[in-house]
Amino acid sequence: MFAPAKPRHTASTTHARILLFNTQHASPARAYRQAEWISQQKNADLAVLTEVSSGPGGAALVEALHHFGYAHAIAPAATGDGYRSVLAARTAALEPVDAGVSFLPHRAPAAVATIGDRKVGVVGLYVPSRGPKERRNENKRGFQEAVTAALDGLEKVFPDMPIVVAGDLNVIEPGHQPPHKVFGRWEYAFYSSFAEAGFADAFRHLNPDALEHSWFGRSGRGFRFDHVFTSTAHAPLIQACAYDHTPRAASLTDHAAMTLTLSGAD
């Protein structure tokens, strides 16, 4: 076990500063480096971690986060498919709640985070990839349908507070540039279901026309797979939302990280 370290940054008591980070099922050694990098980011008071291994790498990640000053973590056991999402916080208390995602719920942990005298609801999502040929899209479609069904109920899960849903959705938005013919209508419909349920794409709220990607295929063509949504009523609280390609360039992961800052105004 690593001895706990003092956090590199003092957590804000007035703003929600959230980092979304795809770990790319890291080995224990790379997971340690990922946790170290995350701890160095000022805008990572809360971390939403996706594609976390259910094996030694995932356990090492949670242990390393504690070592680097993350006092709280929600790391559900991955049952069956080997991947999960993890929530971590420097100092904010995390109260685990059930987001209502009935299929592969370990890919959708949720918590109420207490920041100063305010609360924020947080849900982390890791949508399955297409899967093996014999079960093509079964888990992906099943999980997307379960998330869509749960979105309308999140206001009851998180009453009277901003809600943030962040994750690797493995889908792109309608009108994405460059276009990718591989995606079906049901996948675009999943992205659109967030707006239909009362959630705003935080990046698009601030950057309606910006060209940005978070993952690149072997051909070099980009995909905006990683997304952060906020309850539409609280979209005016969005102060910043951006992609950070530093960890991808440093080979810590194959995805860009993403940051969100919400002001503490009611």
Q: How far is CA 204 from CA 174, 211, 259, in A?
A: 12, 10, 13
Confidence check: pLDDT of 51 > 50: yes
Dihedral angle over CA of 246, 241, 155, 184, nearest 10: -70
Confidence check: pLDDT of 26 > 50: yes
pLDDT at site 7: 73
d(CA 57, CA 79): 16
Say how many C-beta atoms besides its own lie within 10 A of residue 214's C-beta: 24
d(CA 231, CA 263): 14
Least confident residue range of 4-13, 123-132, 174-183, 222-231: 174-183
Q: Which of 194, 106, 40 is nearest to 203 (CA)?
A: 194
β-bridge mates for residue 49, sequence order? 21, 86
pTM of the prediction? Answer: 0.94
pLDDT at site 74: 97
d(CA 6, CA 170): 35
User: Dihedral of CA 44/109/100/104: which sign?
Assistant: positive
The yes or no reply on domain 16-262 and CATH 3.30.470.20 is no
Give φ, ψ of 81 to 5 degrees: -105, -5
Mean pLDDT of the chain: 92
pLDDT at site 222: 83
